[in-house]
Structures are given as structure tokens and as C-alpha cells.
Amino acid sequence: MIKLRYICLAAAATLIVTLSSCSSTPTAENPSAPVASPPATEAVSNNSHSGHSSKEKININTAILSELDKFEGKLGVPALSNKIQANRPYGSPEDLVTKKVITQEQFDQIKDQVGVQEVVLTGEAKDVDYMSKLGLMKGHLLVARELLDQNQPKQAEPHIGHPVEEIYVDVEDQLNERKVKEFKTTLVSLQDLVKSSPKDSKVKTSFTSSVQAVDGAIAALPEAQRSKPGFTLQVINELLDSANSEYRAAIADGKITAPIEYQDSRGFVFYANELYKGISSQVAQADPEAHKAIDTSFAELIKVWPAAIPPAKAVKTPNDVTKLVKTIEENSQKVVDKSNTQAQR
């Protein structure tokens, strides 16, 4: 009985080796099913992954929405940018087709500009990314400040740590070229202080220098750029996107069970709101309807975080918060698109 099986196996194995040696069609393995039938979608050879990417390429795994708009514009597919973002991650540019984001024909039109390799961001995208990272730091420090003021150093500590642990490395390389002095040391010493001797009077001055350091890094971007609605709205939406995920991670059964994530989201939303105040009159002029939608949504959003110490019951559900964030994003996109078209003229 067993012998017969091995003979069959050997025969089958030989057959496979023979057949595969004269066939180069790649396929997928499916070990959970006894019959290995290759799905058609996998029968594409993805040689591009190891290819060198040219400067023009956009990394579809990391690009922000306004960068992806280039594809949306070229192909004329509404909301394509969001669709590309929603179908991440991509192992290769061709995954845009295998994941049914666009058709093969559409892909052929843009394939020279699509990449999945880490690309060095340039131009506005690079600045938006830089500013967003610093904006997250500002949000963390904002809520840390509130907690320190309320004599809650233990709760403040993670928000002082996060800028270094999660974000600093992403801006570190750019500091030199933007002529900004490193400020990791400043942030780390503040963290050390809050951790080991939170009552020390030095906490206040150390905190001030940390905030100043982040502000200084932000000021490396030209004032003209920072006051441009099309630019700042992109930053705002990056911040709100993170806030949205953090808020979802804070709530269970209508209760705030993870205060750290509640506080993170509070910091990001409040700083985003602050940024919006700086450009709101310009947005109101350029697109009154979009402004109204953004303004109202922000007013609603702010209410979700009544204080730095979370309330017993969540004010809004994560889904409600997502809705508000999406409304701001959609309306911002209109303003960003408008400013892009104007810039091209």
C-alpha cells in the first residue's frame, strides 16, 4: 500500500520536473489544496522590482494623495488617488493591475512613473512629508504640555518619548540640508528629566527648548509656503489620518480604554486645527463651500476630546470621527486640486 504510493509519487515528481524544466511560467503555490492550479493573475513576471527606479517615479506605497493625483489626472479616473492608497501595500507596480486598481491599458500609460522602491522625495511632497512629521511632534508635545500642567508627568512621558521613538529618524537626514540644528539631544534630555525627576524645575525650561527646537525646524520651510492653503491642507490631512487611527485604537465598547492613543489623537487634531486657523480666511475666499464643510467638521471634531485626561465615555464613535476626517479630506482635496491647476497655468 505505502509502496504503491511512493511509486506514484515518484512518477508524479518526475513528471513535474520534466514539465517544469521546459516551462518557465511562474505560478503560485497553494499548499492547503491538493491540486495546485495556478491563478491567472499570478502568471505575470514581475521583473521590475529589482530594476533601478528613475527620478520621476512615485512610490505608490508611500506617496501622499496629492502626489498620486498625477495618475488620477493623467488617467482621468475619479478618486483614483484614494483607491491606490486603499489598496496598499504593493509588491510591484504591476500589482496595480493584479489588485484591480486600474486596467492593464491604464497601467501601460503610467508604468514609467510608478515605483515601489523607496524613493527620495522631492519638491512639495518632500516638504509636506517633513512638515507633517514635525506636526505630529507638535501634537505630541501639545498634549504632553497639558498633562505636565495638570501634574501628570507619568501620563505626559510617552508623549515626550514618541517624537524621538517614532518620528525623529524620518526627519533626521533632512535637518542638515535644511540647515536645522539637530534636536534629538534636546528631546531625549527632556524625556530623561520627566522620567527620572518630573518635579525638577528644569522640566519647564527643557520643555520650552524642545518646543522651540521643533518650531525652529518648521521655520526652515519658507513662510510663503507654510501660508499656502494647498500646502497646509495636505499637512492637516496627514495629521488627521494618524489621529483617526489613534482614536480607533483608543476606544473599546464606547469607553476610552487606551488613554495614550486618545491623547495622541487629541494632540494631532488640535494642532491640525491650529494650522487650519492660519489659512482659513484664504480657503474661505478660494472655495467658500469647502471652507464651510472643513470649518464645521473641525468644530465637531474638537468636541471629541474635551480634556487631556479622557472622559469616562467616548463622545463620538470611531466611525463618526472617521466621517468627519473624511469630510475634511474630501473638501481639502478640492482646494488642493484647484491650487495645483493654478500653479500649472
Partner 1 sequence: MPNNFALGNGKPWSRRQLLQLGLAGAGVTGAAGLWQMLNLQSKSTVKVPPLNIEAPDDATNPMKMLRDFDYGTVKQENGRTIREFQLTAGTSIIKLNSAVSYNIWDLNGRIPGPTLRAKQGDRIRVLFLNNAGHSHSLHFHGVHPAEMDGVRPISNGSATIYEFDAEPYGVHLYHCHIEPVTRHIAKGLYGMFIIDPPTPRPPADEIVLVMGGYDVNDDSHNDYYAFNGLPHYYMHHPIGIYKDQLIRLYVLNIIEYDPAVTFHLHANFFDVYRYGMTMTPSEKADVITMGVAERHILEFAFRYPGKYMFHPHQDAIAENGCMGQFEVLAEKNSQNPVKHS
CB of 164 to partner 1, least distance (A): 8
Q: Give the nearest distance from C-beta 309 to partner 1 in angstroms.
A: 14
Is there binding between residue 249 and partner 1 (CB under 8 A)?
yes
- Measured from the CB atom, the residue of 47 and 201 that comes closer to partner 1 is 47
For residue 26, the surrounding DSSP H or E stretch is: none
CB of 191 to partner 1, least distance (A): 11
Residue 267 touches partner 1, criterion: CB under 8 A: no
Given 124, 261, 287, 329, the residue binding partner 1 (CB under 8 A): 261
Give the separation between CA 48 and CA 96, rounded to whole angstroms: 13
User: Which residue bears the cell 491623547?
Assistant: 263
Closest distance to partner 1 from the beta carbon of 205 (Å):
25
Q: Provide CB contacts within 8 A for 59, sequence distance 6+.
A: 115, 116, 117, 118, 119
Establish if 253 lies at the interface with partner 1 (CB under 8 A): yes
| CA separation, residue 113 to residues 12, 54, 128 (Å) | 44, 8, 20
Instruction: Choose one: 241-249, 274-282, 308-316, 333-341; the region binding partner 1 (CB under 8 A).
Output: 241-249
Q: Using the rule CB under 8 A, is 296 a contact of partner 1?
A: no
**CA distances to 63, 115, 173, 236, 288 from 121, in Å:** 9, 12, 12, 19, 32
322 binds partner 1 (CB under 8 A): no
Spatial distance between the Cα atoms of 268 and 207, rounded to a whole number of angstroms? 18
Task: Kindly state the number of chain residues that form the binding site for partner 1, as judged by CB under 8 A.
Answer: 76
Q: Which string of x and - marks every residue 22-61 that binds partner 1 (by CB under 8 A)?
A: -xxxxxxxxxxxxxxxx---xx-xxx-xx----------x
Residue number, 62 or 282, with CB nearest to partner 1: 62
Q: Which of 136, 127, 126, 134 is nearest to 222 (CA)?
A: 127
Q: CB–CB of 68/85 below 8 Å?
A: yes
Show the binding pattern over residues 188-207: x = contacts partner 1 (CB under 8 A), - = does not: --------------------
Sole window of 5-13, 175-183, 210-218, 308-316 interacting with partner 1 (rule: CB under 8 A): 5-13
Sign of CA dihedral 331, 337, 343, 345: negative
CB of 59 to partner 1, least distance (A): 9
Q: Smaller CB distance to partner 1: residue 35 or 120?
A: 35
Choose the binding region for partner 1 from 21-29, 221-229, 289-297, 307-315 (rule: CB under 8 A).
Answer: 21-29
CB-count burial class (<10 Å; 0-12, 13-18, 19+) for 82: middle
Which residues, at least 6 apart from 268, have a Cβ–Cβ distance to it below 8 Å?
A: 135, 136, 139, 239, 240, 242, 243, 246
Please pick, from the candidates 16, 79, 299, 302, the single residue that binds partner 1 as defined by CB under 8 A: 16
- Which residues, 163 to 182, sit near partner 1 by CB under 8 A? 165-167, 169-170
Is residue 131 within 8 Å of residue 226, measured between CB atoms? Answer: yes
Q: Is there binding between residue 225 and partner 1 (CB under 8 A)?
A: no
Residue 45 is classified by DSSP as -
Q: Segment near partner 1 (CB under 8 A), from 1-9, 223-231, 297-305, 307-315?
A: 1-9
- What is the CB-side half-sphere exposure of residue 120 using CA atoms within 13 A? 4
DSSP E strand stretches across 186-327: 251-252, 255-256
At closest approach, how far in Å is the CB of 146 from partner 1? 18
Query: Of these, 66, 210, 232, 242, which contacts partner 1 (CB under 8 A)?
Result: 242
- Distance in Å, CB of 284 to partner 1, minimum: 28
Question: Any contact of residue 3 with partner 1 (CB under 8 A)?
Answer: no
H/E element holding 58? strand 58-59
What gap in Å lies between CA 73 and CA 49, rounded to an integer? 25
Contact stretch for partner 1 (CB under 8 A) within 87-95, 208-216, 217-225, 295-303: 87-95
